[in-house]
Amino acid sequence: MSVAEFALWATLSFLFWKKGLYKRFPALNTYLLLRMGSMPILLGLLYVYTQPWGHQYFPLYFYTYWAVYIASGITLFFVTLEIFRSVLSAFAGLMRLGTMVFRWVALVSAVASLGFVSYTHPGVSMIPEFALALMRSVSILELCLLAFICLCMNALQLSFKDLAVGFGLSLGLMSANDLIFVALETANPSLTAPLQFAYESGILIAVATWLVYCALPERMRKPVIMPANSTIYRWNEIASALGHGTKVAVQQPANGFFLTDVERVVEKVLTRNLQGNESKS
C-alpha cells in the first residue's frame, strides 16, 4: 500500500503544480515539496543503515527522520492556517480577526499536547515524543478546521466543491484516521493487522479525495452577496473596524494615590486663593 500511497502523492503533486495552485496555497506547495524531496533522501539513508556495514549511519537516519517529521508538522500548521484564510477570504475583517484567534488556539493546542511529553530524562529520547506530540496537536487543529468549515458553510456561502473545503476535508480525514487508529489499536492490540489494513485504506481514500478536488476544474467563486442586516456581515464590519489603527488615549488608573490627592488639594487651594483675591480687588 505504501507504493500506492506514494503514487497518489506524486500524482497529486504533479496536478497541484500543473494547475498553478502553488500561487494560491504556498504552504501546501512547501508541504508537497517536502514530501517529494525528503523521501528519496530517507530511502537512501535507510538503505545505507540497513547494510551489514552501515550501522554507524543509524544516527544520521534517526536525526533526518525526526527533523523531516517535525518540519512536516510545522508545515501542516501553516497549511491549516492557509486553508482557514482561504475559506474566509471573502470577509477581510473576519479573516484578520480569525487569523489572530487561530494563532492563539494553535498555541493553546501545542502547549496542551507538549505538556504530555515527559521531561524527566532530557536527551535524544525526547525528540520522538516531542515530534509525535507536535503532530498530534496539528491533527487536532485540522479536525477543528474541518468542524469550522462544516458548521459555517452556509453562513460563509461556501460550496462543498470549493478547493479550500476539499483540502480541509482531506486533511481532517487523515487526522481523524490517525487518531481513530491509535485509539482502536490501544484498546485491541490483537487486531493490529486488520486495523492496519483499514488505516492504510483510510489514508488512501483521504489522498484520493484530495486528488479528485485537484483534478476537477476549479469553479470561479461567486461574489458573496448578502443582506446588509445579516449577522455575518455585521460581524465582518465590526472586525474591519477593529483593525483600523486610530490611536486613542486610554486613561490609566493613578498609581500614587497620596501624591495625586496632594496635587488635587494644592490645585483647589490655589484656585480658591485666586478667586478670593479677585473678589477682594
Partner 1 sequence: MKLAFRVFVLSAVVAGAAAASVSSSPKHTLSSHQSATAGLPVPVCGPGMGCSSTTK
**Residue 140 binds partner 1, judged by CB under 8 A:** yes
Member of 25, 84, 86, 172 binding partner 1 (CB under 8 A): 172
* Shorter beta-carbon distance to partner 1: residue 145 or 239: 145
**Residue 80 binds partner 1, judged by CB under 8 A:** no
What is the smallest separation between the CB atom of 68 and partner 1, expressed in angstroms?
Answer: 5
* Shorter beta-carbon distance to partner 1: residue 17 or 65: 65
Degrees (nearest 5) of the Cα angle 249, 94, 222? 145
* Shorter beta-carbon distance to partner 1: residue 93 or 136: 136
What is the smallest separation between the CB atom of 240 and partner 1, expressed in angstroms?
Answer: 29
* Nearest partner of 27 among 85, 68, 94, judged by Cα: 85
Measured in residues, the chain has a length of 281
Q: Which amino acid is at 52?
A: P
Identify which range of 20-28, 97-105, 124-132, 263-271 contacts partner 1 by CB under 8 A: 124-132
Beta-strand ranges (E) seen in 194-258 are none
Identify which range of 81-89, 143-151, 222-230, 268-276 contacts partner 1 by CB under 8 A: 143-151
Q: From CA 160, how far away is CA 245, in angstroms rounded? A: 36
Q: From CA 253, how far away is CA 241, in angstroms rounded? A: 27
C-alpha cell at 157: 456561502
Member of 40, 104, 122, 187 binding partner 1 (CB under 8 A): 187
**Residue 185 binds partner 1, judged by CB under 8 A:** yes
* Shorter beta-carbon distance to partner 1: residue 74 or 232: 74
* Nearest partner of 24 among 159, 221, 173, judged by Cα: 221
Q: From CA 142, how far away is CA 170, in angstroms rounded? A: 10
What is the smallest separation between the CB atom of 218 and partner 1, expressed in angstroms?
Answer: 18
CA atoms within 13 A on the CB side of 225: 2
What is the smallest separation between the CB atom of 254 and partner 1, expressed in angstroms?
Answer: 48
Q: From CA 268, how far away is CA 259, in angstroms rounded? A: 14
Q: From CA 62, how far away is CA 131, in angstroms rounded? A: 12
C-alpha cell at 2: 505504501
Q: Which residues contact 87 (CB under 8 A, 6 or more apart)?
A: 148, 149, 152, 156, 158, 162, 164, 165, 168
**Residue 147 binds partner 1, judged by CB under 8 A:** yes
Which residues in the 33-72 window bind partner 1 by CB under 8 A? 34-35, 38-39, 42-43, 46, 58-59, 61-62, 65-66, 68-69, 71-72
Answer whether 213's CB lies under 8 Å from 163's CB: yes
Which residues in the 94-123 window bind partner 1 by CB under 8 A? 113, 116-117, 123
C-alpha radius of gyration, the chain, whole number: 28
Member of 51, 186, 231, 251 binding partner 1 (CB under 8 A): 186
Binding site for partner 1 (CB under 8 A): 2, 5-6, 31, 34-35, 38-39, 42-43, 46, 58-59, 61-62, 65-66, 68-69, 71-73, 76, 113, 116-117, 123-125, 127-129, 132-133, 135-136, 138-140, 143, 146-147, 149-150, 153, 160, 169, 171-187, 199, 203
